Chain A
């Protein structure tokens, strides 16, 4: 009986010795030495239930065979996975499962990747002893035994194939915390279904198709389209949110057929959201731009690449010679690859000599230098996703977390499930975390800064701060406005006791996290809020990686780290200068707001927009549209025609992310490469780097590096990135801006992504459009009652700047005066309603029939 030290266990499986960590199950220990114990209902990330009985093994000294998936290893355990008893038991399980399982293999999607097929071939017998008519669930609509029921926008259930492993229901409840899929009836009549009158439509619904061991759950995306063995895979990364979900694209020589997870235990643990799963579909869309367009006599006409590039080079040269290169600006979308953005940066700074470049196209409040110190520090914090799973308290501030960071959200839920982590959210709305949060502090719209001030007061008044002396704390208190907790509580409409409760919870925690999100980023005073969070993190001595304002898009962090902004850290500027062979241009650059303001003033004559759609995405519609219209020369490279391309003098067809090799940096700073699946279907579609190289060449300053050299150079620049740690002695004033006068406009409009959409490209993904196909006005039950509106009614939403007509949707997550319209639908430019005049305040009227 050798002692292995308290954390390791040595056991014997089929005669082979293996040493594993304590707490490992027998099935995992066997996997370590290449012994595959068969199973249906086990999943490495779900709690074991021992339901299928396929993984039974004989363990010496155990009275009867035990389930390997739920038995922890013990020192000197002796396991037999292939004894006569076990072979018979496995055959028994297979026979039982095949009694009523339909012979659908020829037409079932799962063929070729089906656990039941695989196990039958390995462990079953050739003949069946079933002499009865097989038990069938009858399809309600067609009354046939081929039960083919659509239980969700994407999910189809064939109950007759189900082996009742419950993985779908367990995943839905345990991991996603959703209850739109359940098991009904009992025994052999058990049925998996969405609850009566509902559908399975949560953001993680696609995962149930992946984890189903048979073809009982399939999705419309893949159904009947191709056999898995006829496809190849490309390792990729989701190109939407900043979590960096690892996916696999499955394709043949013509098109991509689906995306599935590519389990990365440090990022996603094998779960991907529906946007990552179905978001590739825009690559296949029929209405992709395929040839360049040039505006001639006010109309955009098709032209050739030669003509387009020629025109761009000519106009850039003209502007540069006449007014200087400060008049040309570059804006790139946050979902472009790091290499593309790097080259874009080089093009502007090195070829055009302009420092006016930016990737932050969704935000009004952009500052540089000292004003942005707190924001910059928090947005570059060394956050590690997997560590969030170990937290014991989280404050999610100004973020609808499931929408902003769907996978980090799952880690937070895991922390709650495994560690009883205390979850708090502070938002203008209730969020989906309400089922696990200890408190949802819903502040009145636009009072975030007052809330933060109040929270800081709560920490200071109750002496919850750490590592600073009382005098310093009093100083910090003096920097806060409003000047007391009770004033702040009044302004934001939250009971002071609840704010104190939150402060205490964070102070008591051993491993607290403070995470902000898009509601913060969208405010016109996000730097004030960053100041507040910075102070909070310092007062509570929160570790550097645990107070963070995470990046927003798939590659916002990448754009930041290769310096696509007007002011960049000195060390980065020096490094780029060294790489490019000459110092960066002198005159300071402009950020997005200043670029747009400059456009209006005609100081900026030209903008080159690469893969972005600010005309509908920038949160001040009248302003951005007026600015873009004022430009002398607008070049837009994108995949589809958009409101922005409609204004352009030259439109260039851009390749999508799956059509090139590249990399994204996720919100942790993790550098992840993605592989090309298929090149663009039409020769006229070009990658961003190709476009940039063509223009540079036409300007006689060619960018020589090929793709490999570009990749190397980008990696070297990324490797030199330094995080800015928080200065623990530094505190910033928190002074909320004056409230906007909104007179006749009583309701505050918030915008952002619909649950199943992200940005403006998902509109071209048929599966995601199945979930939500058009914009809507989301409002609270109380408001609906007050305005006498029913679900689906047409309403007019009006601000001082514009009016839109939409259907109403009732939501429990909203309180009184706040309403929401998603900004993913081109037919409904929400940003028209939002401007610095309107401040986002609107009035709502039901439209009569």
Chain B
């Protein structure tokens, strides 16, 4: 399968601008600046059908199209490099190994919406990726791809790298913008949407690292080529981060629409040690589970939704028969309770309560009625929150109970795991 984003990812010096250019980089940008006025560029990207790679899958061109043209306020482009969805580790690789591809994508996207300041919001823990991005940006300035009058086109752009303080919620776009403005990273209600009122109450587009990385390729090789990869509604390639009980964990780039079984078995080598596959979290911890009989589900937005889950960020976590699902549920809810920003009541209080109840079940103190209580609390959180973090906490919890209710019941009745294993789950 053709590698697009990862084509040069294994070349040790690809992050240097000379190598990036040697390998075909910074050709899309001059073409765009010379031949594609912003409106046409937006149209082209719309036609390509590229969808957001951060988890929501919103068509990028359509998002750009929402930005109002003449409202007397500056526009901003924000590259969301706050990769925090559990299981996801693709953006860091792009930033570390091929940062110029991301930079070129940022410049193209900024040009499309006529933003003259772009930000890269990198999670604070990504010291090295942020460093690589800063170096790449410096090189780009030196070669005239950034700054004033880029390549004589009259377009100015500055990119600023900003590191976060360590919060998953800052991957959510409104919290990201709050953090970027210097406030605490709390989500904001939408409407107004960032494309209308975002950073500093000005039109802002927030795009994921991988989404932006797609842009130079779409420009260079055209819409038809891009659409020849993937499916009709989910064109292009995607990087999947494979982890868990898998022989070959890592990042794999495949066409969208590739069956999940191909990624897990052919590329990932399947579940090692002879253990049976129990369940799969397909798109980052916030997505509902897929069961082994769904392993052939194609990895595209529609198919995943039809299967009752989501493509999400593409983080595939493989779980084998040794795992106690109550323990898995506890690990996940711990994460969400810890990361909740605390602004809205259902998520703040609800995730903390769910954590208490599920932990109690896992630790042997579960009480009759706990499962019903969990599900009822979930109903009071789902769809009632400011941002999707509440939903993200609820979906895996509900899904795990739906498929593995017997394990919960066993825990409650007997005070210990149904699953017999000596694997040291910590």
Chain A: residues with CB nearer than 8 A to chain B? 48-54, 56, 64-65, 67, 70, 88-89, 91-93, 95-97, 99-100, 129-132, 135, 163-164, 166, 183, 185-190
Contact = CB atoms under 8 A, between A and B. Distances in A.
Contact of B344 (A50, A130, A131, A183): A50
Contacts of B337: 187-188
27 contacts: A48-B189, A49-B343, A51-B344, A51-B345, A52-B344, A53-B344, A53-B345, A64-B383, A92-B377, A93-B346, A93-B380, A96-B346, A96-B349, A96-B353, A129-B373, A131-B367, A132-B356, A135-B352, A163-B345, A164-B348, A183-B184, A186-B167, A186-B342, A187-B341, A187-B348, A188-B337, A188-B351
A100 B349 contact: yes
5 A-B pairs with the lowest CB-CB distances in the bound complex, closest first: A92-B380, A96-B349, A187-B340, A50-B189, A188-B352
B367 A188 contact: no
Given A50-B386, A129-B373, A187-B338, A96 B345 contact: yes
Interface in B379-422: 379-381, 383-386
B339 interface: yes
Given A50-B386, A166-B343, A99 B349 contact: yes
B346 A186 contact: no
A704 B167 CA distance: 75
Nearest to A52: B345
Nearest to A64: B383
A453 B373 CA distance: 75
A26 to B, nearest CB: 13
A484 B192 CA distance: 52
B350 interface: yes
B338 A53 contact: no
Contacts of A188: 337, 340, 342, 348-349, 351-352
B380 to A, nearest CB: 3
A96 B340 CA distance: 14
A99 B342 contact: no
Contact of B384 (A56, A97, A100, A190): A56
Contacts of A185: 342
A91 B376 CA distance: 11
Please indicate which of the listed interface residues B184, B338, B339 has the most CB atoms of chain A within 10 Å of its own CB.
B184
Contacts of A51: 343-345, 386
Interface residues of B, number: 33
B342 A189 contact: yes
Contacts of B342: 164, 185-190
Contacts of B346: 53, 92-93, 96
The SS class assigned to the A binding surface is loop
Nearest to B389: A187
B202 to A, nearest CB: 13
Contacts of A50: 189, 344, 386
Given A52-B344, A166-B343, A186-B169, 5 more contacts: A54-B345, A64-B383, A95-B380, A185-B342, A186-B342
Nearest to B192: A70
Contact of A187 (B352, B367, B381): B352
A89 B380 contact: yes
A56 to B, nearest CB: 7
Contacts of B343: 49, 51, 164, 166
A261 to B, nearest CB: 27
Please indicate which of the listed interface residues A67, A93, A132, A188 has the most CB atoms of chain B within 10 Å of its own CB.
A188
A190 B349 contact: no
A266 B361 CA distance: 58
Given A49-B189, A189-B342, A96 B356 contact: no
A164 to B, nearest CB: 6
A166 B345 CA distance: 12
A164 B349 CA distance: 10
A131 B341 CA distance: 24
Contact of B353 (A64, A99, A187): A99
Contact of A92 (B169, B384, B386): B384
Contacts of A97: 345, 349
Contacts of B381: 92
Given A53-B384, A187-B337, A67 B349 contact: no
A93 B189 contact: no
Nearest to A67: B189
B82 to A, nearest CB: 15
Contact of A186 (B341, B367, B373, B384): B341
B177 to A, nearest CB: 14
Interface in B24-47: none
A71 to B, nearest CB: 8
Contact of A65 (B169, B189, B353, B384): B384
A110 B34 CA distance: 67
Contacts of A67: 189
Contacts of B383: 64-65
Contacts of A56: 384
Interface string B198-226: 00000000000000000000000000000
Interface string B361-382: 0000001000001000101110
A89 B349 CA distance: 14
B270 to A, nearest CB: 38
Interface string B170-188: 0000000000000010001
Contacts of B188: 49
Please indicate which of the listed interface residues A88, A164, A186 has the most CB atoms of chain B within 10 Å of its own CB.
A186
Contacts of A89: 380, 384
Contacts of A92: 346, 377, 379-381, 384
Nearest to B169: A186
A92 B377 CA distance: 8
B341 A96 contact: no
A653 B349 CA distance: 57
A97 B346 CA distance: 9
Please indicate which of the listed interface residues B338, B339, B380, B386 has the most CB atoms of chain A within 10 Å of its own CB.
B380
A91 B380 CA distance: 9
A129 to B, nearest CB: 6
Contact of B189 (A70, A131, A135, A183): A70
A188 B384 CA distance: 17
Contacts of A65: 383-384
Nearest to B336: A187
Nearest to B338: A187
B172 to A, nearest CB: 13
Nearest to A165: B345
Nearest to A50: B189
Contacts of A163: 345
A166 B340 CA distance: 16
A97 B345 CA distance: 7
A132 B373 CA distance: 13
Nearest to A91: B380
Contacts of A91: 380
B340 A186 contact: yes
Nearest to A72: B191
Nearest to B348: A188
Contacts of A48: 189
A499 B230 CA distance: 65
Contacts of A70: 189
A177 B72 CA distance: 26
A48 B377 CA distance: 26
A56 B343 CA distance: 15
A129 B380 CA distance: 14
A173 to B, nearest CB: 9
B160 to A, nearest CB: 24
A86 to B, nearest CB: 11
A652 B94 CA distance: 85
Interface string B87-111: 0000000000000000000000000
A621 B386 CA distance: 62
B176 to A, nearest CB: 15
Interface string B233-259: 000000000000000000000000000
A190 B352 CA distance: 12
B184 A96 contact: no
Nearest to A48: B189
Contacts of B350: 96
